[in-house]
Amino acid sequence: MSNQQLLEEKKYNKWIVILSIAIPLAVAALFGVNLRRMGFDVEPLTFLPPIYAAINAVTAFVLVLAFFAIKNKKISLHERLMKFAIFLSVMFLVMYVAYHMTSDSTNFGGEGAIAYVYYFILITHIVLSVVIIPFVLITYVRAITKNFARHKKIAKITFPLWLYVAITGVVVYLMISPYYV
């Protein structure tokens, strides 16, 4: 690894920290804003949950494709797939926030053991969706600065975490969807 690569990476560190803090804070703040309760005449965007759940499913699929692409030394394909996965994650986030700004939250109606399973999946999904942000950003920066040894090292952590977040997003949707109004 060259000093040039480290300097290149270091340029991005401030942005990684800012985005890793700002994104979860913005989502948390906007999650608490309900435009309808504030008196705005907006229709609830109740059609969005199946769409953003599908986006999570596609993200998981794209991540697996990207994994196999890099294993087969298809670097250009891997790069395009990873950029697409980041784009999908941003689209998910926009739709998720839009839904929660226009619609009331849905409570899980299951009881007994299934409720414990649901809340375990939900809580780990939420926690890891925050944790994954700096991992994705660091992994991406190491790729664009061509620091592939360090990229590969952190990607071994980022990939399973991101895949878990994408898959559990779908599972959470499937488990709560019967309770949508």
Q: What is the pLDDT of residues 33-45, one digit of tens each?
A: 889 888 999 999 9
Q: Where are the domains of the chain?
A: 3-41+53-179
pLDDT tens for each residue of 46-75: 999 999 999 999 999 999 999 999 999 999
* 81-112 per-position pLDDT tens digit: 999 999 999 999 999 999 999 998 899 999 99
Architecture per CATH, domain 3-41+53-179, reads as Up-down Bundle (1.20)
> Considering just the CA atoms, what is the radius of gyration of the chain in Å?
18
* Separation CA 98–CA 102 (nearest Å): 6
CA 40 from chain centre, in angstroms, equals 29
Average pLDDT score over residue span 3-19: 88
Q: Tell me: the pLDDT tens digits for 138-181?
A: 999 999 999 999 999 999 999 999 999 999 999 999 999 999 87
pLDDT at 72: 98
Give the three-state DSSP class for 164. Answer: helix
